[in-house]
Amino acid sequence: MGARKTTHRNRRPHAVIIGMMGAGKTRVGKEIAHMIRIPFADADIEIEREVGMKIPAYFEKYGERAFRKVEAELIADYLEDFEGIFSLGGGAPMTPSTQDALARYIDQGGRVVYLDADPAEAMERANRGGGRPMLNGDGNARWKKLFKERDPVFRRVANVHVRTRGLTPQGAAKKVIDMVAERTVHVTGAAIEPYDVAIGEGAMNHLVEVLGNKPHKIALIHTQSVQRHSDRARALLRQGGYEVSEIVIPDAEMGKTITVANGIWERLGNEGFTRSDAVVGLGGGAATDLAGFVAATWMRGVRYVNCPTSLLAMVDASTGGKTGINTPQGKNLVGSFYTPAGVLADTKTLATLPNDIFIEGLGEVAKSGFIGDPEILTILESHADELRGFDGSSFLGSPLEDVVSELIERTVTVKAHHVSSDLKEKGLREFLNYGHTLGHAIEKLEHFRWRHGNAVAVGMVYAAELAHILGYIDQDLVDYHRSLLSSLGLPTSWNGGSFEDVLALMHRDKKARGNQLRFVVLDSIGHVVHLDNPPVDAVEEAFRRIQH
Ligand SMILES: NC(=O)c1ccc[n+]([C@@H]2O[C@H](COP(=O)([O-])OP(=O)(O)OC[C@H]3O[C@@H](n4cnc5c(N)ncnc54)[C@H](O)[C@@H]3O)[C@@H](O)[C@H]2O)c1
Ligand SMILES: O=C(O)C(=O)C[C@@H](O)[C@H](O)[C@H](O)COP(=O)(O)O
């Protein structure tokens, strides 16, 4: 029967499309299948083939109940044994057994796409040509009634919601393809209002959905270097009906200052931002840290969404709610724990990311591998050459994009795990600071000319040396730090300052307690321990070993 086969049991649709009659499920479904070169099946056509008659005739002869039974059985079979794009009839998701089958399919990683079209267009298309028993009589009134019943069910049973208003069938198909390929990490925990990190090409399209309908004004905070991406965000925000105040901040660490924050508070005040308005932070980690800090402090906290555009911001800075600014005394010394409403890591933005800034981000990726997910290290090792050679202009659609998306998903998952039970960093979350005790000191002593991820890379080698000197790990693991990080193009040594200067800054690290230094070190890959008040000669000897 059709494309259905019954021999292999581990097959399942690439995506299942549901939606109202006339939404374009068949047209868009065929387009998607054509674009990604996989089969397409339409449940209604397969039913007609199976029962040997047209659906209106079947309805007339046996009634809706009999039709729904045949339909549910056929859908259950296809969900277990069809590899392609599968579109369902408009009423199919209303059958409880089909809802259960779709839930099982989603549990196994499936994507049920609600194709949400413009109602006027869908109604017009559905009534065109007749042949729809559910619309007999006053077609428009019937469609509207069905929409009222079905829309809440579609929203509940689908895990991908695609609005197609204003899009051509090709445009809608491309949107579905991007959204189906998207990865999501859910961040939750006792003190956290849950939110999602969406990762993929087109993730920024969720902006309006995540901001919701309460805000009227949006402060879109970004640096000049990502103007092209903020133009896109601004267009999406305006389409969503918000009033947008674009706020361009100085680049990188120059943006993470009290002067910049104060300038933004003044603007928000002058422009009448209220507590129901919101902030969008778009850019590298410095921009998202600053935007989050402004959101946390304006009127004691307004909604904010991060749109990270550097690898480092995607894997680390944009998630977890650490917001803040630097002071003349050191890195991130002022700030607050303030959770975003959502994070949209749109991989399209990586197309403009310079190679050195991409590589820097790999420092935090490797950190997550060392502290929590050894598979990350395996992926980094296997793709070191391609990662080191990252070129934004040929990145989108390349095999590397999938590798990078997986690294982002895994790294964010490690972060979400540490944040979920310890938002305010009382213990477990400190493990995310692996490599940062020395790393932040280097950044400060280099007047922030050293990039954060590079400083953290050296800081991890330092932490590994310290752990080795104190007997936590063997020399092989120290050597592995050096070989992996340098294979990615990251630095593993530093000779830009004295031990006395470094020590003084490490005493100002937020993990320090009183006069006691506090590090996090590995005792094996994936297992981190606190190291309180280590002997100063070990601290100095480890420093000597990371110098040239
Ligand atoms: N809050 C947290 O949990 C957390 C975690 C890790 C790092 N951080 C902070 O993040 C910052 C480092 O982030 P970063 O590495 O992204 O540095 P960054 O923000 O300084 O960005 C690096 C440079 O790349 C540019 N850039 C970013 N995206 C671009 C794009 N798509 N195309 C072209 N240029 C682009 C930026 O404008 C900047 O010039 C540090 O301040 C660090 O302390 C915070
Ligand atoms: O989220 C955390 O917790 C981290 O420590 C993540 C770090 O990678 C990040 O650099 C963070 O900004 C460091 O914060 P700080 O508290 O050491 O300033």
The pLDDT tens digits for 39-57 are 999 999 999 999 999 999 9
The two three-digit tokens of residue 61, written as one number:
């002869």
Rounded to whole angstroms, the Cα distance separating 418 from 528 reads: 12
The two three-digit tokens of residue 109, written as one number:
């990683």
Query: HEC states along 145-171?
Result: HHHHHHHHHHHHHCCEEEECCCCCHHH
Query: Three-state DSSP class for 18?
Result: strand
How confident is the model at residue 141, as a pLDDT?
87
* pLDDT interval class at 1 (50, 70, 90): very low
Whole-angstrom CA distances from 374 to 368, 369, 464, 485, 541 are 8, 5, 16, 14, 28
Architecture of domain 183-415: 3-Layer(aba) Sandwich (3.40)
Query: Three-state DSSP class for 396?
Result: coil
Please name the helix (run of DSSP H) or strand (run of DSSP E) that holds residue 331, with its range, or none: strand 330-337
Residue extents of the structural domains in the chain: 13-181, 183-415, 434-546
- DSSP codes of every residue in 158-210: -SEEEE-TT--HHHHHHHHHHHHH-EEEEEEETTEEEEEEEEETTGGGGHHHH
* pLDDT interval class at 247 (50, 70, 90): very high
* pLDDT interval class at 235 (50, 70, 90): very high
Q: What φ, ψ does residue 357 adopt, rounded to 5°?
A: -80, -30
Please name the helix (run of DSSP H) or strand (run of DSSP E) that holds residue 304, with its range, or none: strand 303-308
* pLDDT interval class at 10 (50, 70, 90): low
Whole-angstrom CA distances from 14 to 33, 110, 208 are 9, 7, 27
Model confidence over 351-386: pLDDT tens digits?
999 999 999 999 999 999 999 999 999 999 999 999
Cβ atoms within 10 A of the Cβ of 529, count? Answer: 14
How confident is the model at residue 127, as a pLDDT?
81
Residue whose CA is at the smallest distance from ligand 1 atom 2: 317
Rg of the chain (C-alpha set): 27
Sign (positive or negative) of CA dihedral 485, 490, 494, 499: negative
Distance of alpha carbon 548 from the chain centroid = 38
C-beta 308 within 6 A of ligand 1: no
How confident is the model at residue 9, as a pLDDT?
46
Q: Which residue has the tokens 């959204």?
A: 179
CATH of domain 434-546: 1.20.1090.10
CATH topology match: 13-181 vs 183-415? yes
End-to-end Cα spacing for the chain: 70
Instruction: Give every CB contact of residue 52 below 8 A, 6+ residues apart in sequence.
Output: none
How confident is the model at residue 5, as a pLDDT?
36
Cβ atoms within 10 A of the Cβ of 356, count? Answer: 12
Superfamily holding 13-181? P-loop containing nucleotide triphosphate hydrolases (3.40.50.300)
How confident is the model at residue 134, as a pLDDT?
73
ipTM of the complex: 0.99
C-beta 225 within 6 A of ligand 1: yes
Report, as an integer, the average pLDDT of 183-202.
94
* pLDDT interval class at 129 (50, 70, 90): low
Task: Identify whether the C-beta of residue 395 lies closer than 8 Å to the C-beta of residue 351.
Answer: yes
What is the number of the ligand 2 atom nearest to the C-alpha of 433? 5
Model confidence over 298-337: pLDDT tens digits?
999 999 999 999 999 999 999 999 999 999 988 999 999 9
pLDDT of 7 higher than 60: no
Query: Three-state DSSP class for 86?
Result: strand
Model confidence over 476-500: pLDDT tens digits?
999 999 999 999 999 999 999 999 9
* pLDDT interval class at 124 (50, 70, 90): confident
Q: Which residue has the tokens 């947008």?
A: 244
Query: Three-state DSSP class for 12?
Result: coil
- Binding residue ranges: 22-27, 44, 68, 90, 132, 150, 251-256, 285-289, 309-310, 322, 331, 349-352, 364, 436, 452
* pLDDT interval class at 277 (50, 70, 90): very high
Model confidence over 142-167: pLDDT tens digits?
899 999 999 999 999 999 999 898 89
Closest ligand to Cα 284: 1
Provide the annotated active-site residues.
300, 322, 364, 415, 425, 429, 433, 436, 440, 452
Report, as an integer, the average pLDDT of 524-547.
97
Q: Which residue has the tokens 């330092």?
A: 462
Task: Identify whether the C-beta of residue 458 lies closer than 8 Å to the C-beta of residue 494.
Answer: yes
- Cα 288 to averaged position of ligand 1 atoms, centre (Å): 8
pLDDT of 25 higher than 60: yes
- Binding residue ranges for substrate: 44, 68, 90, 150
Single-letter amino acid, residue 345:
A
- Cα 455 to averaged position of ligand 2 atoms, centre (Å): 13
Model confidence over 61-107: pLDDT tens digits?
999 999 999 999 999 999 999 999 999 999 999 999 999 999 999 99
Q: What angle do CA 110, 116, 117 make, to 5 degrees?
A: 140
The two three-digit tokens of residue 208, written as one number:
């309006």
Percentages helix, strand, coil for the chain (3-state, rounded to 5) are: 55, 15, 30
* pLDDT interval class at 130 (50, 70, 90): low
Closest CA to 450 of 466, 434, 438, 463: 438
How confident is the model at residue 8, as a pLDDT?
40
How confident is the model at residue 11, as a pLDDT?
85
Closest ligand to Cα 333: 2
Rounded to whole angstroms, the Cα distance separating 306 from 325 reads: 16
- Cα 284 to averaged position of ligand 1 atoms, centre (Å): 3
Rounded to whole angstroms, the Cα distance separating 246 from 224 reads: 11
Cβ atoms within 10 A of the Cβ of 160, count? Answer: 18
Rounded mean pLDDT of the chain? 94
**What share of the chain in percent tops pLDDT 70?**
98
Instruction: Give every CB contact of residue 463 below 8 A, 6+ residues apart in sequence.
Output: 434, 435, 437, 438, 519, 520, 521, 522, 542
Q: What φ, ψ does residue 18 adopt, rounded to 5°?
A: -125, 165
**Paired sense of beta strands 322-327 and 330-337, if any:** antiparallel
pLDDT of 132 higher than 80: no
How confident is the model at residue 142, as a pLDDT?
87
- Cα 432 to averaged position of ligand 2 atoms, centre (Å): 6
Task: Identify whether the C-beta of residue 91 lies closer than 8 Å to the C-beta of residue 134.
Answer: yes
How confident is the model at residue 212, as a pLDDT?
93
* pLDDT interval class at 544 (50, 70, 90): very high
Task: Identify whether the C-beta of residue 73 lies closer than 8 Å to the C-beta of residue 97.
Answer: no
pLDDT of 400 higher than 90: yes
pLDDT of 206 higher than 80: yes
Please name the helix (run of DSSP H) or strand (run of DSSP E) that holds residue 311, with its range, or none: helix 311-312
Cβ atoms within 10 A of the Cβ of 243, count? Answer: 13
Cβ atoms within 10 A of the Cβ of 135, count? Answer: 20
The two three-digit tokens of residue 355, written as one number:
């190679």
Rounded to whole angstroms, the Cα distance separating 482 from 76 reads: 52
Task: Identify whether the C-beta of residue 369 lies closer than 8 Å to the C-beta of residue 224.
Answer: no
